[in-house]
Amino acid sequence: MPTAANAYFGWSQPAHRPDCKRPAWEVDSRPDYSAWRPRNEGCDHSCPNEGCEHGNEYECLTVRLVCRSCDLVRRFRGESYELAPTTTAATGYGTPPRKVGALWLYAGPPLLYDGTEPDEYLCAPERVDRLEPEHVVGSIGRHEGQRGGVSWKGAALPEIITPRYTPRPYLTYTVVSGDVRFRSVKAAANWVQAQVEAAGDAAAPVAAAAQSSPRPPSQGA
């Protein structure tokens, strides 16, 4: 199931040379409908499944990136690809964030492909060019009742989890609204902001005490 975290986290832009003065990629793609597997990639491929498309002759797509400034070329080649166009509204990523109260809301994909409302928003205190897990302070999720009524739930104060088997991190939240539902995205965003402010107020005395406590003498004193 597509999520807002999948839309924003774990992606990276191909790097240019360090001395590149005008970094910009020229992107081209070329399909090959009758590519042959080289001998040095192993023995002949055989499969009892008549519908298997992963044989010695296969379809592939090559994507070529060229930078005219630093003369760097990158090629990406894969056998499984999809050329169906989509939109920023369908993926979530690429839509401009919304300012709601004190937070910026970054939209995730809708629950259904042809949906009009994002199923989830990631909340950040600032607007950034590329949203990363460390920018997020909470999330807002859509909830649809048995009679079709739409409400919203909130979560705040995330912890970043990065599994060993994938570079794509995800977030777990220490505070959730639970059974409390909000009638609007704005109300849910206000709840998230309140949790962030409460956590900051609770941490302020601890930080002040740590700064005011006397430091132990150094070993050379």
pLDDT digit string, tens, across residues 139-152: 999 988 777 789 99
pLDDT of residue 2: 78
The pTM score is 0.79
Could you say which DSSP state residue 196 is in? Answer: H
DSSP annotation of 168 = -
What does the pLDDT read at residue 42?
A: 55
Cα 207 to chain center, whole Å? Answer: 32
Q: How far apart are CA 194 and CA 154, in angstroms?
A: 11
Going residue by residue through the chain, which has 221 residues, state the pLDDT in tens, using 9 for 90 and above. Answer: 678 999 999 999 999 999 999 999 999 999 888 777 665 555 566 666 666 655 667 788 999 999 999 999 999 988 767 777 888 988 889 999 999 999 999 999 998 755 678 999 999 999 999 999 999 999 999 988 777 789 999 999 999 998 888 778 889 999 999 999 999 999 999 999 999 999 987 655 444 554 555 555 545 44
Please name the residue that has the structure tokens 């777990």. Answer: 172
Q: Which of 145, 84, 92 is nearest to 117 (CA)?
A: 92
Q: Cα dist. 11→36, 133, 169, 202 in Å? A: 30, 12, 10, 34
Quote the tokens at residue 197. 């402010």
Residue 67 contacts residue 20 (beta carbons within 8 Å): yes
Q: How far is CA 9 from CA 4, 12, 63, 184, in A?
A: 8, 9, 22, 26
Q: 108 and 89 in contact (C-beta within 8 Å)?
A: no
pLDDT at residue 118, as a whole number: 92
How high is the pLDDT of residue 216?
Answer: 53
